[in-house]
Amino acid sequence: MEKRYLPALLLVGFLILILLISQSRLAYSKEAGGITKDLIKIGVIVDMTGPTADLQTPAPKAIRTYFKNVNDRGGIHGRKVAIIVEDDRYTIPLHIAAFKKLVYKDEVFMFMEIGGTGQALALVSQFNKLKIPNFLTSTSRVFVCPTLPYHFTNGATYEDEIEIIFDWLVNVLKVKEPKIGLVRPDTEHGKVGSRSANEQAKKYGLELAADVILSPGALEAGSEVLRLKKTNPTHLILHLTPSNSACFLRDAKKFGLKAFYVGTKYTCIETMLELAGKAAENFHATNSFAAWYDNTPGTKVLREITLRYHPGTEKEIRPRGYIQGWSECMIVHEGLNRTGKNLTREGLIKAWEGMKDFDMQGLSSNVTFGTDKHQASEYCKFYKADVEKGIFNPVSDWIKAKE
């Protein structure tokens, strides 16, 4: 080989080496998705300005505060956590647009706190195709039975709650000849409640006394209340959100609808009591998460960290959505920590699936996952409204729906 060609060949060899290194880095980046040696990106899609914003906005606040504390303590195996929040206004088109932005522009590693049953259902195939872990809010049974490979949830499903309510009314309170009705929105969340309530009524040899629809953004419920007065239910399950459940209770009191009211998880929120006032007296509800003011090890830590980052807000009662978001962070954090420094999406899923009886410090019942079980817990408590104090007091221990 002539010496005059040697510099050119060395240059070509050097360029090829650089190209190979660059391609390997790109391949790693594509495989890892949303992680670098010092960062983990987590995407959050919730309704920040739409009809369920009062319900969904507390969770991102909890997530940001929780991981700010984690970052300030050194992160997770040297990586800081970046939370990127998008608003879908509780619509499927905006939800899909937010998902695409977070996946293809921000390149997030995983998702958490996706709000809205219909919105989450619209993207199941995409999560499976892209193999992205998703710790979602919606606890419809469709996401956990059968087990979906990349979806995880925390707390009792809507179906679990309604099963527990029927069992409580019939077998615990031993109501004689109950006429049980349902009030719910005409959304996927509401349709799940309707199917479950009808199934449970049939199980107990009953016929659902009423199945009334109330829109998520309803400002009045007079016509719905008057329709219910004609069927005269003894008990009404409110499978609603804070604002429309308060709206319904106010008009029920106004028009003299006499029934025993018990709500599912999204009615068991302190803002609902503030909106409903005295109309919420004797109201009961279920929830899978503790209250801000509960005296448990987990709530004490939650309050201490929250107030450290948000001084001057000591009198503010954070709603259940905040505690739910915080609880989800604990599970996500534990999974990321168990996965180790060599963080991959499949590794995270295996770490979650290996969690058995993980202590939630009273924020919820303990967490157990498995390869065929992606629902962290099936338990909830019954709470009774204290209208004067604007809080919910527990009236049961953690309860699971009977097999």
**Same domain as 265, residue 396:** yes
Domain range for residue 197? Answer: 158-287+383-400
**Same domain as 41, residue 18:** no
**Same domain as 164, residue 280:** yes
**Same domain as 131, residue 49:** yes
Q: What is the pLDDT of residue 138?
A: 67
Over range 261-287, report the average pLDDT.
95
**CB-based burial label for 128 (10 Å; 0-12, 13-18, 19+):** middle
Q: What is the pLDDT of residue 142?
A: 85
117 confidence band (pLDDT: 50, 70, 90): confident
Tell me which H or E stretch contains 392.
strand 391-394
377, part of any domain: no
Q: Contact at 8 Å (CB) between 289 and 320?
A: yes
pLDDT in tens, 307-334: 999 999 999 999 999 999 999 999 999 9
Q: What is the pLDDT of residue 145?
A: 87
**Same domain as 253, residue 174:** yes
Which of 142-156, 322-336, 356-370 is predicted least confidently? Answer: 142-156
Rg (CA), the chain: 24
Please state, in angstroms and rounded to a whole number, the distance separating the CA atoms of residues 98 and 43.
9
On the question of a cis peptide bond just before residue 146, with omega within 30 degrees of 0, the verdict is yes
Q: How far apart are the first and last CA of the chain?
A: 81
**Same domain as 389, residue 245:** yes
Please state, in angstroms and rounded to a whole number, the distance separating the CA atoms of residues 66 and 379.
24
- What residue has token string 């995880």? 152
Q: Which of 295, 261, 247, 274 is nearest to 384 (CA)?
A: 261
217, part of any domain: yes
**Same domain as 259, residue 396:** yes
Q: What is the pLDDT of residue 45?
A: 96
| One-letter amino acid for residue 261 of the chain | Y
Q: Is the pLDDT of residue 280 over 60?
A: yes
Over range 113-121, report the average pLDDT.
83
**Same domain as 246, residue 261:** yes
144 confidence band (pLDDT: 50, 70, 90): confident
CATH number of 349's domain: 3.40.50.2300
**Same domain as 219, residue 96:** no
180, part of any domain: yes
Please state, in angstroms and rounded to a whole number, the distance separating the CA atoms of residues 192 and 149.
22
Residue 35 has a CB neighbour count (10 Å cut-off) of: 21
Q: What is the pLDDT of residue 174?
A: 95
388 confidence band (pLDDT: 50, 70, 90): very high
**Same domain as 102, residue 71:** yes
Q: Which of 87, 381, 50 is nearest to 241 (CA)?
A: 50
pLDDT in tens, 148-206: 999 999 989 999 999 999 999 999 999 999 999 999 999 888 999 999 999 999 999 99
Tell me which H or E stretch contains 385.
strand 379-386
378, part of any domain: no
pLDDT in tens, 59-74: 999 999 999 999 999 9
Q: Contact at 8 Å (CB) between 48 and 7?
A: no
Region for residue 386 given its phi and psi (left: phi exceeds 0; alpha: psi -120 to 50; beta: otherwise): beta
**Same domain as 197, residue 303:** no
Task: Domain count for the chain, please give it.
Answer: 3
Q: What is the pLDDT of residue 10?
A: 42
333, part of any domain: yes
- Which residue pairs from 101-107 have beta carbons closer than 8 angstroms and sit at least 24 positions apart in sequence? 102/43, 102/45, 103/43, 103/130, 103/132, 106/34, 106/41, 106/43, 107/29, 107/33, 107/34, 107/41
381 confidence band (pLDDT: 50, 70, 90): very high
